[in-house]
Amino acid sequence: MDKQKLLITVLIIIVIAFTIYTAKNFLESYISSMIDFSYSKGYADAVGDIISAAKNESCDAFPVFIGEDKVDIINVNCVWK
């Protein structure tokens, strides 16, 4: 193999390695941002559901639970009526 073919082969390997490295970093960044977005969305949905349940017009207590832990919550405005 002459020097020109060797140089072309090495450059191709470098370009392929760089492309793989860049794609891997992009994919990891995308996955991380999607996980963060999903977590934030889930948190916002949960808080929104609690607020909606607290605004019920009958002023009934409602359960909130996670795993084995459970509490009943009521809107403080209902308590003062």
Confidence of residue 81 (pLDDT cuts 50, 70, 90): low
Any idea which residue has 């639970």 for tokens? 65
E strand spans, the chain: 62-66, 69-73
Q: Quick one: pLDDT band at residue 60, thresholds 50, 70, 90?
A: confident
pLDDT tens for each residue of 14-35: 999 999 999 999 999 999 999 9
Mean pLDDT, residues 51-72 taken together: 88
How far is the C-alpha of 20 from the C-alpha of 39, rounded, in Å?
29
Q: What is the pTM of this model?
A: 0.60
Domain extent listing, the chain: 3-79
Element (H, E) at 29: helix 3-54
Tokens representing 33 are: 């941002």
Given a cut of 90, is residue 80 above it in pLDDT? no
Residues 6+ positions from 1 with CB-CB distance below 8 Å: 9
